[in-house]
Amino acid sequence: MDSLSAIIDLVKRLRPYTNAGGKMDSLRRKLERLNSRESDVLMEVKYAESRLGNKRKREVENWLRNVRSVKDAISAIEPQVADGGVCTRVSLVNQINRLTTQVEELTDQGEFPRGLSHVEDTRALLTVELVGEAFGRNQDRVLSRLMEDDVLTVGIFGMGGVGKTTLVTHVHNHLLKASTWRKVCWVTVSQECDVPTLQQRISKCFNAALREEEDKIKRAAELSYLLKRESTVIILDDLWHAYDLQEVGIPLGVNGCKLILTTRSLDICRQMNCDELIELKPLPENEAWQLFVKNLRRGVVFAPEVESVAKSVAKECAGLPLGIVVVSGSMRGKEEDIHEWRSALNELKEARFEGKCMEDKVFRVLKFSFIRLNDQVVQQCFLHLALYPEDFVIWTADLLRNPVYLDFFSDLKTREAQYDRGHTIVNKLVNVCLLEKSGPPSYERLKMHDLVRDMAINMMGSQCMVKAGLGLCTIPAQEEWLKDLEKVSLIKNSLKEIPAVRRQSWDLPQLLELYMSSNVLTRIDGSFFGCMPALQVLDLSMTNIEMLPSSISNLVNLTHLLLRRCKCLRCVPSLANMRALRTLDFYDSGIEEVPEGLHELVNLRCLDFGESRLKKLPPGILPKLSNMQTLNLKGWCDSMTVQAQEIMSLTKLEKLSCKFGDVQSYDLYVKHLQAGGPKEWEIELIEGARDDNICIRDVDVSIYSRTVRLLGCHVGGDGPKSPPVHPKDVQHLEIRDAVDEPKSLTDIPSITNSKLKMCTLKRIHGMKYAVSQSSSSPLPSIESLKLISIMDLRALAEEEPCAVATAVPGVLYEGDKFWGLKELDIVGCNKMKRLLTHVLLPLLVDLEKLSISYCNQMEEVIAMTEVDMECQEEGDTRGSYTRSEANHAHLASALSLPKMKTLELWNLPALKRICGAAISCHSLQRISLRRCPKLECISLHEQLPRDGEPPSGCLQAIEIRRDEEEWWKSVVWNDSVTKSFLVPYIKYRW
């Protein structure tokens, strides 16, 4: 009996180790979820990194590395599951249990609530051309003095508007290209910037955040440690008072650390012990006139009597570049009208500015330009932009969807008309030089010169309190909240909470607009909002607020409530009394339930729950919001679906983003779109069983205004179930996890029967080729194709096994079928060993951007057969698969990508070559290479500029990770002489 009991006990103890197969199945299911998260993270990071120099955080890189490691470990034990005895089985189950725990932990860690990327600071700053001989001499002087060992600090001083920032931006960009310093750190110092704020701004240059140390000495030591790691030049622009460098933690002289500062005061330069002092003075009269004419209009010819007055106008600008640019901008289009010039001269002479400690001459000309806008709406739009912090970059796209800005055009009935008017006014302010514009149209940015902003704030007077970007930890003192205040801006500070206030002391009967976005705000006492009964605009976007006080329900005059990116927000009081609301913005917030009283907001024009955690929208609410113009219900949770009839009831809708949970409702709404409906829409169909606890986030942000996304749907033409119909004018189609596993693009009727501009395929099982030889359907002229995590994909296009046939007529070559492709993006296709062979390279004749990343088996981009390689080696110019005369011209054209501007090859561990033969890429401007350790040769013929700045059609940058510098040195270009010419174009990135 004892022996039997022992055996039973042993069996019980071994039972958990006898089901390795079942545990492995469970591990595979958990791994599927991790794979999905990995795919989403990769795509989101890739999108972020494509935007103006953003880069992934180190924790994200570590997480991706750990995911790859655990996936390799799982692959290694797969063959062992079906083999082995009990002892081996015990060890195996232990391994499976350990890997299961790791997979679960990695899945949880993959949420990254603080974001996946941050802005890299190694980009050149956008600047304007230096004007005048003195500027060129001063730039050379700064650069040469920095090279001297005994010069550690260069101080540049001069009055506002004289060009100090312009000079140091040129110096900054020059230093980036030089190899003397590994780090160039740019910091704009605001008027009230204290030591802790300055320390944090410097630390951000190193993608680091200092710990919240109360001990100043420890904080300084931590910053000093960062600066000592590599040779650094720190540029502090616009100092208003002196700093003790030891207190800040700037170790001048250590590892080549040097400092450049700009200020309006010579005394500050002296207090900072500058080794070199450079004073910027106004332009001499002849150079000032040259700048005036140049900014007015190139090639302008004045009549003699007009030129005399125009020169007097220019002279009134006192040689200050900022004043010259602004005034000449205001006179564009009026060059021949002497009456305009006389009037301008009189206005400039009469203009006065009652400011203290300000450069009166500058403000006088700036005020002149503001008055000559001669349009109250345009002037109000301009003054609104002064509410942002000093040197704040305003994205044009964000401004044009800001409901407060668009409210200036409330007389226009449609959102589209308001958008167009807002865009026109932005252009007008740029044209008269009151705003600076930079960047390509899709990423256009606006900025206001600090003196222009100062003028705008002073124009608003005591009715406006602007304390934006000052690092405030507490709200301004009670005595600063004047009774006649109408606007208050506390944007981008360090406010943590707003304590209780006494109604008797805090009486703000005229306060209409309150902006507190970009603070760490977690709590607001309800008494605060009780002091401002007339409030119309409340912006708490990008704060850590968890709960809005109940007193907000009494703000019956509120028209705009902005809670954008309040990720911690969970609770909102009843909105029933706030019937004046026209905008309710919960974009990317943490809210999970619809606020009470939403159905009462009959005047609502814009409702945004996009990217929020909202789980469900109760039926019956939308039809009551009959004035809706913009509606975004496309949140994280895929349980957040709508019914077509409710959306169709919104007859004034102009822009829509939503999800449908069944094909019948989706098809019904598509028919409605065909008959009219909103002009812009992004609709998604989600079919099949869903886990409501899993939120799906789209990181592939479409640039097109008419987008359809299909998730888990039947998309092929065969089978008992018909695919969903699509609007005829759809521009972007995204398909994820198709249930019928189409074999190629041509097996999807909605692609072949449409006029798509962009197509995205994600996690399509069974698809080995995007284009199949067996297909008889032609492809449309798609401009952008993205293939993401298609695990069975072998190549872009299929060729016959003998590799001698020409491309299939009507599918690949005829007309403009596949020739229109301008952008090709391939991510995470791990069975893909090549993109295509050279005989099909003409498919990409119009390609402008090629990006391939995270394809673990990719060995070469363009493959050539052994016969082709022999032909190349033997000098056989006929080189084709058959060496026939008929294919001679075809081979020659195949080795060319004539329109390609951008080539990105990221994280391709098996990549050996781009092509076995050289490819002509004479339009190539940018190459980005990351984590391609086996790549030894780059066979591209690019075009290099002969002299001066590179023209747009020539190579401008080759981006390499800084920690791969040694690898890059070993890479062979077409020949060693050519590579030596590439040195000026190498840009090292972290």
Phi, psi of 960 (to 5 degrees): -130, 140
Which spans in 522-577 are helix H?
Answer: 526-529
Distance CA 773, CA 563 (A): 52
Distance CA 942, CA 924 (A): 6
Contact call for residues 932 and 905 (beta carbons, < 8 A)? yes
**Residue 865: predicted pLDDT:** 60
**Residue 694: predicted pLDDT:** 39
Burial of 755 (0-12, 13-18, 19+ CB in 10 A): exposed
**Residue 11: predicted pLDDT:** 46
**Residue 81: predicted pLDDT:** 66
Residues 6+ apart with CB under 8 A from 280: 134, 138, 156, 157, 158, 162, 163, 164, 167
To 10 degrees, the CA torsion angle through 840, 843, 848, 849?
-60
| DSSP 8-class letter at 765 | T
**Residue 472: predicted pLDDT:** 87
Q: At 946, is the pLDDT very low, low, confident or very high (cuts 50, 70, 90)? A: low
Tens digits of residue pLDDT in 285-296: 888 888 888 888
**Residue 609: predicted pLDDT:** 95
Tens digits of residue pLDDT in 651-709: 999 999 999 999 999 999 999 998 888 999 999 999 854 443 334 444 444 567 899 99
Contact call for residues 144 and 275 (beta carbons, < 8 A)? no
- Residue labelled with tokens 């208050």: 488
Distance CA 128, CA 131 (A): 9
Distance CA 591, CA 983 (A): 51
Of 556, 562, 510, 505, nearest to 528 by C-alpha is 505
Tens digits of residue pLDDT in 176-192: 776 566 688 888 887 77
Q: At 932, is the pLDDT very low, low, confident or very high (cuts 50, 70, 90)? A: very high
- Residue labelled with tokens 């205004």: 705
What is the rounded average pLDDT of the residues 57-73?
81
Of 126, 124, 237, nearest to 175 by C-alpha is 124
Alpha-carbon distance values, 748 to 698, 751, 776 (Å): 22, 6, 12
pLDDT at 952 over 80: no
pLDDT at 387 over 90: yes
**Residue 953: predicted pLDDT:** 62
Residue 497, strand partner residues:
523
Residues 6+ apart with CB under 8 A from 339: none
**Residue 71: predicted pLDDT:** 84
| DSSP 8-class letter at 387 | T
Distance CA 260, CA 168 (A): 8
| Strand ranges of the sheet holding 913-915, from the earlier edge strand across to the other edge | 834-837, 860-863, 913-915
Distance CA 933, CA 861 (A): 15
User: E strands along 399-496, which residues?
Assistant: 436-438, 445-447, 464-466, 487-489
Tens digits of residue pLDDT in 233-277: 999 998 888 999 999 899 998 888 899 999 988 888 999 999 999
What is the rounded average pLDDT of the residues 34-47?
75
**Residue 363: predicted pLDDT:** 76
- Residue labelled with tokens 């189609």: 733
Quickly count: other Cβ atoms within 10 Å of residue 666's Cβ.
24
pLDDT at 891 over 60: no
What is the rounded average pLDDT of the residues 577-591?
95
Alpha-carbon distance values, 946 to 500, 829, 950, 955, 958 (Å): 67, 40, 8, 11, 17
Range among 269-278, 296-305, 596-605 rated most confident: 596-605
- Residue labelled with tokens 């799982």: 74
Written in H, E and C, the secondary structure of 818-860 is CCCCCEEEEECCCCCCEEEEHHHHHHHCCCCEEEEECCCCCCE
Residues written for the chain: 990
More confident residue, 973 or 655: 655
**Residue 726: predicted pLDDT:** 85
Distance CA 320, CA 322 (A): 6
What is the rounded average pLDDT of the residues 210-233?
80
pLDDT at 610 over 50: yes
How wide is the angle at C-alpha 901 spanned by C-alphas 897 and 905, nearest 5°? 85
**Residue 486: predicted pLDDT:** 96
How wide is the angle at C-alpha 392 spanned by C-alphas 492 and 295, nearest 5°? 165
Question: What residue type is 627 in one-letter code?
Answer: N
Burial of 329 (0-12, 13-18, 19+ CB in 10 A): middle
**Residue 468: predicted pLDDT:** 92
How wide is the angle at C-alpha 869 spanned by C-alphas 864 and 871, nearest 5°? 125
Written in H, E and C, the secondary structure of 142-173 is HHHHHCCCCCCEEEEECCCCCCHHHHHHHHHH
pLDDT at 411 over 70: yes
Of 673, 639, 633, nearest to 657 by C-alpha is 633
Contact call for residues 363 and 455 (beta carbons, < 8 A)? yes
**Residue 591: predicted pLDDT:** 94
More confident residue, 482 or 125: 482
Look up residue 647 and give its two tokens.
């959306």
Phi, psi of 891 (to 5 degrees): -65, -40
| CA R_g for the chain | 32
Quickly count: other Cβ atoms within 10 Å of residue 667's Cβ.
17
Tens digits of residue pLDDT in 266-287: 888 999 999 999 988 888 888 8
Contact call for residues 607 and 653 (beta carbons, < 8 A)? no
Tens digits of residue pLDDT in 839-852: 778 778 889 999 99
Phi, psi of 65 (to 5 degrees): -65, -40
pLDDT at 827 over 90: yes
Q: What percent of the chain has pLDDT over 70?
A: 81
**Residue 800: predicted pLDDT:** 53
Residue environment code for 235-252, b if the CB has 16+ CB neighbours within 10 A, otherwise e: bbbbbeebbebeebbbbb
Written in H, E and C, the secondary structure of 207-257 is CCCCCCCCCHHHHHHHHHHHHHCCCEEEEEEEECCCCCHHHHCCCCCHHHC
pTM as predicted:
0.74
Phi, psi of 930 (to 5 degrees): -145, 130
Mean pLDDT for the chain overall: 81
| DSSP 8-class letter at 512 | -
Range among 368-372, 663-667, 746-750 rated most confident: 663-667
Distance CA 721, CA 635 (A): 28
Residue 655, strand partner residues:
630, 680
Of 499, 545, 506, nearest to 526 by C-alpha is 499
Contact call for residues 296 and 288 (beta carbons, < 8 A)? no
Tens digits of residue pLDDT in 621-664: 999 999 999 999 998 888 899 999 999 999 999 999 999 999 99
Range among 64-78, 473-487, 797-811, 945-959 rated most confident: 473-487
**Residue 812: predicted pLDDT:** 45
Quickly count: other Cβ atoms within 10 Å of residue 651's Cβ.
10
pLDDT at 936 over 60: yes
Q: At 355, is the pLDDT very low, low, confident or very high (cuts 50, 70, 90)? A: very low
pLDDT at 372 over 70: yes
Look up residue 931 and give its two tokens.
């984590």
Which spans in 875-952 are helix H?
Answer: 888-894
Whether the CA torsion 619, 623, 624, 625 is positive or negative: it is positive
Residue 671, strand partner residues:
none
Of 870, 905, 907, nearest to 891 by C-alpha is 870
Residues 6+ apart with CB under 8 A from 396: 423, 426, 437, 444, 445, 446
Phi, psi of 401 (to 5 degrees): -115, 10
